[in-house]
Amino acid sequence: MDVEYDVIVLGTGLKECILSGLLSVDRLKVLHMDRNDYYGGDSTSLNLNQLWKRFKGDETPPAQIGASRDYNVDMVPKFMMANGALVRVLIHTGVTKYMSFKAVDGSYVFNKGKIHKVPSTDMEALKSPLMGLFEKRRAGKFFLYVQDYKENDPSTHKGYDLMKLTTKQLISKYGLDDNTIDFIGHAVALHRDDTYLSEPALDTVKRMKLYAESVARFQGGSPYIYPLYGLGELPQGFARLSAVYGGTYMLNKPECKVEFDSEGKVCGVTSEGETAKCKKVVCDPSYLPDKVKKVGKVFRAIAIMSHPIPNTAESHSVQIILPQKQLGRKSDMYVFCCSYSHNVASKGKFIAFVSAQAETDNLQTELKPGINLLGPVDELFFDTYDRYEPTNDSSSDNCYISTSYDATTHFESTVMDVLSLYTKITGKMVDLSVDLSAASAAEDDM
């Protein structure tokens, strides 16, 4: 390995693969290595036999669940916002030509013990059972304000400076009650807790606009899309992209020890006695454990079922957000469901996940509110993993470490981490002003 690389990427998780693809498209010389013999790292996709081996050891899956090869169970399941940053990155890099997507049927919110469809426009607000008659009108006016708002056109601002006005102050001008604020903040703007209420309102308004525009894009019941055969297709799509641009992928490389020079800057990576030289390293927290700190834990349940989640209009794919306030928690809980219609399970089978940031030591009790929504399950697995974030100064050691995946079932926070790392590595922003219709060629069946 006498070649010097601009960047060595360690781990083939989603974040690392997206960064590898972006850097390859920028014509940087990239070497991508993984200690595992499969793509995906923590965000890998498992067939039925692999799922059983991971959670049940030597037991074999029951025959009535279907063939192992029919299953693609994502270990970090997340839907993509149709007009969101990840889809824009996929188009920017051209990965869309390696993948097919399908719209997600439903977007729901848990409110006062029931599941409701999330309204995203003034018309949907008027029909929603989430609110009484007068509240519907007030919410409708607020949705209209958000729909019409254009950051560069002061005539749409109604005199409000959204960089100075907090979200709470803006919402109070429309007289919305706490119940309405709860579903708008958590299920439309996708905030993970209530800190957004005291922050400038512009971010929330932009998030609400993204949600509504994404719903409108495919005229479906939700703003989300998901790859056929699951997220495991993404790392492989980026691996193919990287190869097209001259990047090199090496799986099954044990150890992958990061080497530093006398000034503490990264200078290479050693595996099996050979050292590849490099200027920068990108990796997940497991490759540089002394440069990260634990920031929490994620609890989740994985269910295999023979029916859609009750009260979701028979949706074959759906997200349900359970806002923290509804459960007396400090952060939201998420339910994700996908099925054979996205080619991730055998015919007639559904896979559901319940995930949350751990707030107690009791996994099963903590996830119960989400599990209770699923109805009867054929199989149920419980899983937990620690979350880490970097503590190093990347400008002094040239190590760019991603943050562990959070409990959310959508991609918005994941992509923000990727884009932030890209800017730190290259000193520039990713151009996300792409032609969104470019994704539709690979999405014929939406």
Tell me the DSSP string of 114-158: EEEEPP-SHHHHHH-TTS-HHHHHHHHHHHHHHHH--TT-GGGTT
**What pLDDT, in 10s, does the model give residues 150-197?**
999 999 999 999 999 999 999 999 999 998 999 999 999 999 889 999
Domain extent listing, the chain:
4-44+231-293+388-428, 51-105+294-387, 119-217
What CATH number does the domain located at 4-44+231-293+388-428 have?
3.50.50.60
Q: Name the nearest CA neighbour of 41 among 257, 229, 224, 236.
A: 236
- Amino acid found at 159: G
Q: Count Cβ neighbours within 10 Å for each residue of 189-203 and write b for 16 or more, e otherwise.
A: bbbbbbebbeebbbe
The highest-level CATH class for domain 119-217 is mainly alpha
Rounded CA separation 74/51 (Å) = 10
> Within the chain, how many helices (H) and strands (E) appear?
13, 19
pLDDT at position 298 is 95
- Residue 403, SS3 per DSSP: coil
Per-residue pLDDT, 330: 94
Instruction: Pick the closest to residue 359 from 383, 380, 335, 332 (CA basis).
Output: 332
H-type helices in 245-348, by residue range? Answer: 324-327
Q: For residues 441 and 14, what is the distance between their CA atoms, to the nearest angstrom?
A: 23
CATH superfamily of 51-105+294-387: Guanine Nucleotide Dissociation Inhibitor, domain 2 (3.30.519.10)
Q: Do 392 and 266 meet the contact criterion of CB atoms below 8 Å apart?
A: no
Length of the chain: 446
Question: Which SS3 state, helix, strand or coil, does residue 79 take?
Answer: strand
- Which of these, 321, 303, 301, 304, lies nearest to 312 by C-alpha position? 321
Q: With a cut of 70, which residues of the chain have pLDDT below it?
A: 1-2, 220, 438-446
Tokens of 304: 């295999």
pLDDT of residue 432: 84
- What was the pLDDT predicted at 442? 37
Write down the pTM of the prediction. Answer: 0.90
Q: Quote the DSSP letter at residue 347.
A: T
